[in-house]
Amino acid sequence: MKEDYITITICDQDYKIKCDESELELLNKSAAFLDIKMSEIKKVSPTMTKDKIAVMAALNIISLYLNKEEELQEFQNVSSEIESLQNSLKLEGFDE
């Protein structure tokens, strides 16, 4: 895979990052999301250092991620239950 260097900007600071061409869009979206989250925290706590803002943003983002992961697991569980019920109905002769 071809790798390129791209420059992303987070909290008015540029970072040059080596990235696979296939991951460029995801990296740009991730950087934009992080920039938004850090800006939101900075707006509420303007005296907080960038390091602390970065940690708070990371905690907020991982919290969102873990919440979505939990929701996905719940959907998968419900889907398995529905599939099991459908199979039971088929065995009883209630085909669609």
CA distance 30 to 77: 29
The total number of structural domains in the chain stands at: 1
Which are the contacts of 5, defined by CB distance < 8 A and separation ≥ 6?
A: 16, 17, 18, 19
- Return the pLDDT at 30: 96
| Below-50 pLDDT ranges, the chain | none
- Return the pLDDT at 3: 80
Domain that holds residue 62: 3-91
- Return the pLDDT at 90: 87
Q: In sequence order, what E strands does the chain have?
A: 3-10, 13-20
Which are the contacts of 74, defined by CB distance < 8 A and separation ≥ 6?
A: none
Q: CATH number for the domain including 11? A: 3.30.160.880
